[in-house]
Amino acid sequence: MKIKLAIIIGIFLFSAASILAQGGRAEPARVKFASGKTSQVLRGMLKEDEQQEYIFSAKKGQKVKAKIASSAPKGKFHAFRIEGVIGVDYLPERDTNYTLEFIAPQTSDYMIFVQMLPTQKVRSGKFMLTLNVK
């Protein structure tokens, strides 16, 4: 009986340590382009104040274009921002700009954050993010 209890406690402690090591959050999804392709369509669903994160690579001088569309009315749903090298962030206006273009200032990984902006009437919805890197 004591051995079973010790095993159960051990499993519990191991599971708790694993969860704490992860910080309670999922890793960003890595965007991979098919061979010869320069664009990728990313789809998801968010509710309340949820956020989805994606990482992609761009080489210095490449043109990056991100465009978001959602199932909710424009200006009522998703915002997105892109973070790259230290000190270089790209944040479109939340309710007017659903497309963002820039030239990558250096070869680096960049992170895109897609966030739900809930209102009284709109609490969830699907999004489609198109990412082009040329």
Mean pLDDT value of segment 42-64: 89
- Res 134 pLDDT > 90: yes
The full set of domain ranges for the chain reads 29-133
Give the pLDDT confidence score for residue 91 in this predicted structure: 61
Q: Determine the 3-state secondary structure of 29 from DSSP.
A: strand
- In this prediction, residue 131 has a pLDDT band, given cuts at 50, 70 and 90, of very high
Task: State the average pLDDT over residues 31-44.
Answer: 92
Q: Which CATH architecture has domain 29-133?
A: Sandwich (2.60)
> Which residues touch 65 (CB under 8 Å, ≥6 apart)?
99, 100, 101, 130, 131, 132, 133
* Predicted TM-score (pTM) of this structure: 0.69
> What's the pLDDT tens digit per position in 73-92?
655 555 667 777 655 565 65
